Chains A and B, each alone.
Chain A
Amino acid sequence: MSAAPQASPTATKISVERLDAWYGATHAVRGVSLEIPDRAVTALIGPSGCGKSTFLRCLNRMHELLPSARAEGRVLLDGEDLLSGEVDPVDLRRRVGMVFQRPNPFPTLSIRDNVIAGFKLNGMRGGRAETVERCLRQAALWDEVKDRLGASPLSLSGGQQQRLCIARALAVEPEVLLMDEPASALDPIATARLEELIHELKERYTIVLVTHNLQQAARTSDQTAFFYMGELAEAGRTEQIFTNPRERRTEDYVTGKFG
């Protein structure tokens, strides 16, 4: 909150204003304000336990699923306040997709059905073969699985599973993609592929990426936000955060003095 959100080159997709989030008595996110630009990658970095995941999960209202969890403030998606009673979280989550730290494909569904799970589980049609192919291509997985779409997703490698989860998130045609340390369970090669993929996806989607890997943040993101003890310590263009941080804490963190 001390650092004013940097004016971004493109339009703002999500505008967070003085967001607070709690788990029972734990105050995990403290008065965070941040502008998230459209069709760009915003990286969230910071030491473990600083509230990155909690912040991210407020953006699609997954945070409120825990019985004791609570959030206050304003999260504007295209100007509409997500935390107000007007927005239905179930509808919202189709607009704001999420990819998790560990790949979590549905083990009871085939690869094909995993991609269109957003339709299938909702009892909707719309999961056509074209959708499957398009999303798998977008997720850069098509060539590897096109011959075994009926197989179990558990037969895929970890990196492939993670890309499958991305394809699954893309299939419901979200506007925003939230990724919480998506590469932490992947080896360097799979990670490199994932970063390439993120680079391609930002042409069409707004991406918010939590990562512990500073190089990854530097390589993939346009904007970087540094969280510290629940607060947003500093946010700005990635290049500026890594080369010329305004805050001492940020400098210490990005130069590896702590965390």
Chain B
Amino acid sequence: MRLRRRLADLAMTGLCALAVGVALVPLASLLWLVVSRGLPGLTPAFLLGRPAPVGDPGGGVGNGIVGTFLMVGLASLLAVPIGVGAGIFLAEEGDGPLGRAIRFVAEVLACVPSIVLGIVAYAVVVIPMGHFSAIAGAVAMALLMVPPLARATEEFVRLVPGTLREASLALGVPAWRTSLRVVVRTALGGITTAMLLAVARAAGETAPLLFTSLNNQYWNLRPDLPTASLTVQIFNFAISPYESWHAQAWSGALALLLLVGVLNLLARFAARDRLGGGSR
């Protein structure tokens, strides 16, 4: 009897340990393959070039990287003021009915699938403009970034001790400057983390771009034109029937993984050295 209980305990512990292993296998496999298959093709020419026609040697994702940066930048211009502003509002004045409603809606919006938000961007930007564009992609990304930004900003602003605000007000600093230069400034490490995480997520997004920014074989910096993006290029390379494009898909994936990885590391770093950030 005692032996059986011991054995059951041992068996279950073993199974749970196995679960840890099982969870880590796909990660290891994925990272290994992206690195091993992507690294050979990850040349400067690949990072700086634009796609070549099938059969031609060379070709790269440079225009896609530029497009991703362009759209992420535009999206941040839209999303950061709204997301951070809403977060500050929720933290400082968000205890009333309006605040509760906004908090609830932000939470709901955060779980809306990105492809659905893509349709919204399509309706709001693509249809009025009459064609696909970088700005449409950026709007889709911004819709995606705002809710998590707002929630995270609220959390970090709430961590700022009320005594700092009082200290500032008692020095004769007006409320808005106190808010901005003391409260938000103190929470800035955390807010930066939230921004970097949102940017990383937006940079890795593909689905809503398929029918907002579409794609572009050429270099483009104009927000009103269709734009290549790293993710859409990876997708197109991957589903193509050509071996050489598959190789480019892996290299593109490695580039994207590095970009997202760096953003995530920066986010951790930003959270570490500032007040309030370390608690997450």
Q: Do chains A and B touch in the complex (CB under 8 A)?
A: yes
Chain A interface residues toward B at CB < 8 A: 60, 62, 65, 90-94, 97-98, 100, 102, 104-108, 117-118, 121-123, 165, 168-169, 172
> Of residues 144 to 185 in B, which have CB atoms within 8 Å of A's CB atoms?
161, 163-164, 166-174, 177-178, 181-182, 185
B170 to A93, Cβ gap below 8 A? yes
A91 to B166, Cβ gap below 8 A? no
Q: Does B136 belong to the interface (CB within 8 Å)?
A: no
B170 to A121, Cβ gap below 8 A? no
Of the candidates B169, B172, B182, the one having the most CB atoms from chain A within 10 angstroms of its own CB is B172
Contacts A90-B174, A106-B182: A121 and B168 contacting too (C-beta < 8 A)? yes
Contacts A121-B177, A121-B182: A104 and B164 contacting too (C-beta < 8 A)? yes
Min distance, Cβ B42 to any Cβ of chain A, angstroms = 39
Contact pick for A165, options B167, B185, B186, CB 8 Å? B167
A104 to B173, Cβ gap below 8 A? no
Of the candidates B174, B178, B188, B275, the one having the most CB atoms from chain A within 10 angstroms of its own CB is B174
A98 to B173, Cβ gap below 8 A? no
A100 to B166, Cβ gap below 8 A? yes
Residues of B within 8 A of A60 (CB): 170
Residues of B within 8 A of A118 (CB): 171-173
Residue of A nearest to B180 (CB): A121
> Of residues 200 to 217 in B, which have CB atoms within 8 Å of A's CB atoms?
none
- Could you write out 21 A-B pairs with CB less than 8 Å apart? A60-B170, A62-B170, A65-B166, A90-B172, A90-B174, A94-B172, A98-B166, A98-B170, A100-B166, A100-B167, A104-B161, A106-B186, A107-B186, A107-B275, A118-B173, A121-B168, A121-B177, A121-B181, A122-B173, A168-B171, A169-B170
A62 to B185, Cβ gap below 8 A? no
Residues of A within 8 A of B178 (CB): 121
Residue of A nearest to B160 (CB): A107
A91 to B163, Cβ gap below 8 A? no
B169 to A62, Cβ gap below 8 A? yes
A97 to B177, Cβ gap below 8 A? no
Of the candidates A107, A117, A165, the one having the most CB atoms from chain B within 10 angstroms of its own CB is A107
Residues of B within 8 A of A62 (CB): 166, 169-170
Residues of B within 8 A of A172 (CB): 171-172
Contacts A121-B178, A121-B181, A122-B177: A93 and B163 contacting too (C-beta < 8 A)? no
